[in-house]
Amino acid sequence: MVLKGEGIAKEFIREGRGTNRFPAVSDTDIELAPGTLTVLSGRSGSGKTTLLNMLSGLLPPTRGRVLLGEQDLYSLPDRELSRLRNEKIGVIPQGQTAIHSLTVSENILLPCALYGKPDKSAEAYAAKLMEQLDIAPLAGVRPSELSGGELRRMAIARALIRRPEIIFADEPTGDLDDENTAAVFDFLRSTAHEGAAVLVVTHEASAGDYADRQLVMKAGKIDI
């Protein structure tokens, strides 16, 4: 399924003297097609994460529409949109994003548990993902005992567990060493090969080697 942003823009209201609106993202068109890995780079503050949040259904745009296939995401009520995001969209957020009271494998299976019970096939898939991401021995461990790279790989497995059609990764290699960085990009690349539309927001220069398409953001606009 194709994800399309049509003229989406986001303006934040800055607090301070008077209200001044500042545009984080100006009217932007973007399309993410199945099987392609798109890399989005740009300086910090250029609006990359805001764009990603709008596209992934987490942040309603000030103007414009986000379409998944024919469906306008933000016309859906929160419950249905959440459900849709749960099933079709996988997000690897910035930073450390573990639920600390759950073990690694419970964290990974959590998306399957939100609207039902994880079944055998989900558990098998989780095991396979952990194997591929090299965190299988950590399945029963709590996140507090994991390193940054391991946590990131756990977040990747969690984003993929529902076999989403669209995958967003926000600085997935931000605090990783070169070896881990390569592993993560390899993995995202192979996921795109399998048919998912992948958007990676990154500073990483080496990301270009894995991309089908490279976009650069500058002051809220995509600079092609």
Partner 1 sequence: MLHSLALKNLRGKPGRTAVLMILTALLALTVISGTIIVSSLRSGLSSLEDRLGAEIMVVPYEATTKKSFENILLQGSTGYFYMDKSVMDQVSETEGIGELSAQFYLASTSSGCCSIPVQLIGFDPETDFTIQPWIRRSFNEPLKENDIVIGNDLNAFVGDTLQFYGVDCRVAAKLEKTGTSFDTTVFTGFDTIKKMTRASIDKGLNTYKGVDPEAVVSCLLINTSDERSPEEVVNDTNLHNKKVRAVRTKEMISGVSDSLGGVSRIVGILMAAVWVLGGVILLLAFTMSVNERKKEFAVMRVIGASRGLLARTVMSEALAVGLFGSLIGIALGLFIMLPFAGAAEQLLAMPYLLPSAGKTAALAAAALAVSVLTGALTAAVSAYRISRLDTGVILRGDN
Q: Where on the chain is the footprint of partner 1 (CB under 8 A)?
A: 49-50, 53, 56, 58-59, 78-79, 81-87, 89, 91, 93-102, 106, 110-111, 113-118, 158-159, 162, 170-171, 174
Nearest residue (CB) to partner 1, 150 versus 170: 170
Ordered DSSP codes for 1-54: --EEEEEEEEEEEEPSSS-EEEEEEEEEEEEE-TT-EEEEEE-TTSSHHHHHHH
Nearest residue (CB) to partner 1, 30 versus 55: 55
Give me the residues paired with residue 11 across strands.
23
Give the nearest distance from C-beta 31 to partner 1 in angstroms: 22
Give the nearest distance from C-beta 160 to partner 1 in angstroms: 11
Strands (DSSP E) found in 33-158? 37-42, 63-68, 71-72, 89-92
Give the nearest distance from C-beta 111 to partner 1 in angstroms: 4
DSSP code at position 205: G
Give the nearest distance from C-beta 91 to partner 1 in angstroms: 5
Nearest residue (CB) to partner 1, 71 versus 213: 71
Give the nearest distance from C-beta 40 to partner 1 in angstroms: 15
Nearest residue (CB) to partner 1, 38 versus 53: 53
Nearest residue (CB) to partner 1, 52 versus 209: 52
Which pairing describes strands 37-42 and 63-68: parallel, antiparallel, or unpaired? unpaired
The structure tokens listed for 24 are 């984080």
Q: 């989005």: which residue's tokens?
A: 40
